[in-house]
């Protein structure tokens, strides 16, 4: 993506500026599109602008400071904004790290963690500039980490 932002997946975490808990996203808009997972695990479902529910569904953001520290009475006020519109899932825009969702009680929900994680593959090691790698980490020798019997991702 040219924006440098990550797509959000179902196992990511959200936060409300008025709450105390950090729920996971709940994808209900589709069951077909996954980011960075060939095994089609539900954790990697792409979050779209229509996915405005969270897990757990009751009291997702804990105590609400706008509700005198009583349990969260979350009610979405529309769809996610600041979404990525160049890639769509079944016609819906994708939620990215800086997307926002308003709560009708008055809180602003943002992305705490997008849910994706990086991994190094053999091709990353093969394509790395050996001189630069030795400069960055002189204690690690390329041959030590490039074992042909290792799985594709480290």
Question: What six digits make up the tokens of 56?
Answer: 């757990």
Q: How many CB atoms lie within 10 A of CB 15?
A: 18
Of 83, 26, 86, nearest to 60 (Cα)? 26
> What pLDDT score was predicted for residue 82?
96
DSSP class of 53: E
Contact 64, 107 (CB under 8 A): yes
Other CB atoms within 10 A of residue 52 CB: 22
Mapping DSSP to helix (H, G, I), strand (E, B) and coil, where does residue 89 land? strand
Q: 135 falls in which pLDDT band (50, 70, 90)? A: confident
Quick check: 6 and 111 in contact, CB under 8 A? no
> Does 40 or 91 have the greater pLDDT score?
91
DSSP-derived 3-state class of residue 126: helix
pLDDT tens by residue, 35-59: 887 788 899 999 999 999 999 998 9
Local confidence band at 140 (pLDDT 50, 70, 90 cut-offs): confident
- The answer, yes or no, to whether residue 6 has pLDDT greater than 50, is yes
């Amino acid at each position: 993506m040219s924006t440098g932002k990550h797509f959000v997946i179902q196992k990511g975490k959200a936060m409300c500026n008025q709450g105390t808990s950090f729920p996971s996203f709940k994808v209900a808009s589709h069951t077909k599109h996954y980011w960075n997972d060939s095994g089609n695990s539900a954790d990697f479902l792409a979050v779209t602008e229509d996915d405005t529910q969270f897990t757990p569904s009751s009291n997702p953001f804990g105590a609400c400071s706008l509700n005198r520290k009583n349990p969260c009475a979350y009610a979405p006020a529309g769809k996610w904004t600041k979404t990525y519109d160049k890639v769509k899932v079944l016609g819906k825009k994708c939620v990215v790290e800086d997307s926002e969702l308003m709560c009708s009680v008055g809180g602003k929900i943002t992305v705490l963690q997008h849910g994706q994680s990086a991994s190094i593959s053999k091709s990353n090691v093969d394509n790395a500039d050996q001189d630069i790698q030795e400069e960055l980490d002189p204690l690690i020798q390329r041959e030590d980490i490039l074992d042909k019997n290792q799985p594709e991702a480290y």
